[in-house]
Structure 1
Amino acid sequence: MRIDIIYGTRPEFIKLAMLIHKLREYGQEVRVISTGQHKEMLKGLEEWFNITPDITLEVMREGQSIAQLSAALLGELSCLYSEEKPHWVVVQGDTQTAFVGAQAAFYHGIKIAHVEAGLRTYDKRAPFPEEINRQMISKLADLHFCPAVSSSQNLLEEKVQEHLIEVVGNTVLDALEYSREKIKAENLFPLELERYFSGEKQTSRMVLITTHRRENFGEGLEQICKAILHLAAANLEVDFLVLLHPNPQVKKTLLDYLENKFPNVDLISPLTYSDFLALLQRSYFLLTDSGGLQEEAPSFGKPVLLLRELTERPEGVVAGCVKVVGTSLENIVSEAQKLLDSEADYKAMQVDRNPFGDGKSAQFIVNRLIHEG
């Protein structure tokens, strides 16, 4: 049996890496296809997990629209599957790579397995275009590997047959367990940020901030920046580290608002996966609009203030380790200040067990794929 695994972005690869290893461990023929959506961000990551793509597509063009990217992906993958068909195509999450990968497989009569299936906000523009991508993949997929019971319930309500759904937890925790062991064994941390680990700032409280969602472009992102400035001015003893996303629009806004404004606001370039995990572990809490960080941060006991109006990952909110604060300056400042001022509020957002799984998801997926044949 041959299985094609398609990824294009950094989060997709992280969440598929241990599945690739586990399938090969069980003797399955795996062809790894990278579409290169995050080409530069994937280089060190593939080395970290010791995975080399068998096929790399060159679909990215400067300034291209989502429609242009989708058309390029569909053309390349259709040509690929016209030549040779695997038994399964595995896609992950909600990216253009995942959606178009499933679409191309469907057109060629290839079975589709969707990892991290069933997440929903039911607002087609939040997150955009990811919410619709997920819903469309669910219409195409033959197996749905859900991270939680709530996501499986969404699929059941959408009339997906129960025997095609399996709750396996989130594969990001498989990658996290693998990576934490390597980081600890090799004592890894970002050398350019050594001051936060062994230098003059090693005892400071540090708030880690990431933002990149399209629905926050414009006023939402500007409100986030203003909130950071407000917090920095009111808490000069706290460091605020802002990760500069490579998206030009996001990067420009962050630089325009935050660069050289306060000595305790530090703008940092994108980090390797291992360095970022080390920084996550070092942080006090997170301000983020990321999906994956909602899942990873609880394993480190780090509260998450979510810079979005909705989340398709309700488990963190229910468990109390994630709080949805939106992009209002007043809300962000109020909730962040609570965590900085109140030890009780901070501890209330720490959990003993990650609500998103136990790091054994890849094994469950492999068992089912081999059983289905």
Structure 2
Amino acid sequence: MIVIPIGTKAQLIKMAPVIKALEAQGLPFDFILTGQHQETMEDLIAGFDLPQPAYSMAPIGEASSKSKLLKWLLQIFWKNLGPNTPFRHNEYRFCLVHGDTLSTLVASILARFRGIQVVHIEAGLRSKSILHPFPEELTRLAVSRMSSIFYCSGKNATSNVRALKPKAHIVDTGENTLLDSVRTALSKGKDSPAIDASPYCVASIHRFENITNRDRFLFIVNNIINISKNIKVYFVLHSATKHQLIKYGLYNRLSNEKGIKITPRMGYFDFIRLISAGKFLISDGGSNQEECSYLDIPCLLMRQKTERTEGLGINVYLSNYEQKMIDTFVEKYLQLPRAASAQLERFNSFPSKAIAQDLELLSTVSSR
């Protein structure tokens, strides 16, 4: 039996095709929620046609501030360390954790405590800097220490895991499972009408290292406002970002800018449609970097370092918070016509299917 704890929207997007692949292989599993995020979860479950979660490890909420995050952490440990919990009694053999969130870390700790094998998906990504991104880099290192099975998206990630655990079960899936998610999104949205016929770009800023640093956040917001003087900006509003905008007195300022359209956080398929038709994306998300690399969408990454190599030096620009780099990117892609999105047929790997097939073999071996 497999357990799949999911805490955030990004995790669910990347794990949805894995869940579908496990269904196709006929492998028994429990898809469960950790309770870390609530926003858009139901939409994603319906959009990807996933089974409803078997249960939640903690009350479902939205950990959009430090205090709410601490409350969630206390709840999830309190409710799952005792003897009378589903996580204890369901005799799971494998716990599939994804990425580098706090849900990933917590689920790995609880699985090890219960004697369940930790399976790390999207394993081996490294920025080689503990502070960038923080705490994600530390989370990845900690989860790698607790895991015994690794699914890595590419040679660099695979090499990083082999250097740490040379005797572990390691599989290179070629690409990230996000590729399968993008395939689904494009298929679902192919007959949908255009969101906006006029030129625009999209901004999506949500990382705690950006939004909780007042000076850095102000720098990013000022740049987005300046960009909006030349092109319409769809500003996709995450709940944590809204909280910090209000805290710093920036929300009304953004709302009053004629060139900025504040857009509530949307479903994944709508988001892919939105960025696919835009001139470029301004983001601090690693998943957005990967999506842009698959779709050939220019992306300005508001980070100092990234653990991913996808698109770097091609269509993804690492800003390093340098004004000259930002200005160069914007000037270039304001002038260039928006190219049609790349055809995903050039990718011949199906990482979610590879993971499910390998887990089926492992399950067969472990049941003997």
- 1:363 is paired with a residue of what secondary structure? helix
Deviation at 1:333, TM superposition (A): 2.6
Aligned partners of 1:354 and 1:221: how far apart in 2? Answer: 38
Q: Aligned pair 1:362/2:343, yes or no?
A: no
Whether the 8 Å contact between 1:212 and 1:290 is mirrored in structure 2 is yes
* Residue of structure 1 in register with 2:200 after alignment: 206
Aligned 8 A contact 1:226 1:329 in 2:
no
Gapped regions of structure 2 (runs ≥ 5): 364-368
- SS of 2:217's equivalent in the other structure is helix
* Distance (whole Å) between structure 1 residues aligned to residue 352 and residue 176 of structure 2: 9
CA distance in 1, matches of 2:29, 2:91: 12
Whole-Å separation in 1 of the counterparts to 2:321 and 2:345: 25
Cα distance in 2 for residues equivalent to 1:22 and 1:61: 28
The answer as to whether partners of 1:321 and 1:351 remain within 8 angstroms in 2 is: no
Q: Does the 8 A contact of 1:117 with 1:134 survive in 2?
A: yes
- SS of 1:126's equivalent in the other structure is coil
- 2:236 corresponding residue in structure 1: 243
Structure 1: where are the runs of 5+ without partners?
Answer: 197-201
When normalised by structure 1's length, the TM-score is 0.86
Identity %: 25
Residue number among 69, 72, 82 corresponding to 1:69 in the alignment: 72
Distance 2:348 2:12 in 1: 19
Q: Do the aligned residues in 1 keep the contact of 2:289 with 2:310 (CA within 8 Å)?
A: no
Pair 1:340 & 2:340 matched: no
Q: How far is 1:125 from its partner? A: 2.2
Partner of 2:53: 53
Paired residues in the alignment total 350
How far has the Cα of 1:135 moved from its partner? 1.0
Q: Residue deviations 1:309-355, cap 9 Å, x none?
A: 0000023215x121101334443233212221356xx87x9877799
- In the alignment, what sits opposite 1:37? 36
- For residues 219-254 of structure 1, what are the alpha-carbon distances to aligned partners after superposition, in whole Å with 9 as ceiling and x for unaligned? 111111111222223x2xx21111111114344255
Deviation at 1:112, TM superposition (A): 1.1
Partner of 1:216: 210
Q: State whether residues 212 and 289 of structure 1, in contact with CA within 8 Å, keep that contact through their aligned partners in structure 2.
A: yes
Amino acid at match of 2:224: I
Give the 3 Å change call, closer, same or farther, for CA 272–350 of structure 1 in structure 2.
closer
The residue matched to 2:120 in structure 1 has which SS? strand
Aligned partner of residue 11 in structure 1, secondary structure: helix
Q: CA deviation at 1:36?
A: 2.5
Alpha-carbon offset, residue 39 of structure 1 = 0.9
The Cα offsets for residues 182-238 of structure 1, whole Å up to 9 and x where unpaired, read as 2114x266xxxx5x1xxxxx1x221111101111132111111111222223x2xx2
CA contact (8 A) 1:298 1:351 kept: no
RMSD of aligned residue pairs (Cα, Å): 2.4
| Aligned residue number for residue 19 of structure 2 | 20
**Which whole-Å deviations, capped at 9, do the CAs of 1:140-172 have from their partners, x for residues lacking one?**
1111101111111112222x1255211112111
CA-CA distance at 1:130 after TM superposition? 1.4
1:3 shift after superposition: 0.6
Corresponding position of 2:172: 167
- Equivalent of 2:267 in 248, 272, 292: 272
- Are the aligned partners of 1:206 and 1:283 in contact in 2 as well (CA < 8 Å)? yes
CA distance in 2, matches of 1:143, 1:188: 43
Q: Which is worse superposed, 290-299 or 135-144? A: 290-299
Alignment of 1:317 onto 2:312 = yes
Question: Do 1:306 and 1:324's aligned partners in 2 also have CA atoms closer than 8 Å?
Answer: yes
What is the TM-score of this pair, normalised by structure 2? 0.88
1:74 Cα deviation after fit = 2.7
Aligned equivalent of 2:147: 141
Cα distance in 1 for residues equivalent to 2:166 and 2:73: 29
Letter of the structure 1 residue corresponding to residue 48 of structure 2: F
Any idea what the Cα deviations from partners look like across 1:257-281, whole Å, max 9, x if unmatched?
42212x2221111111121111111
Q: How far 1:61 sits from its partner (Å)?
A: 7.1
Amino acid of the residue matched to residue 44 of structure 2?
L
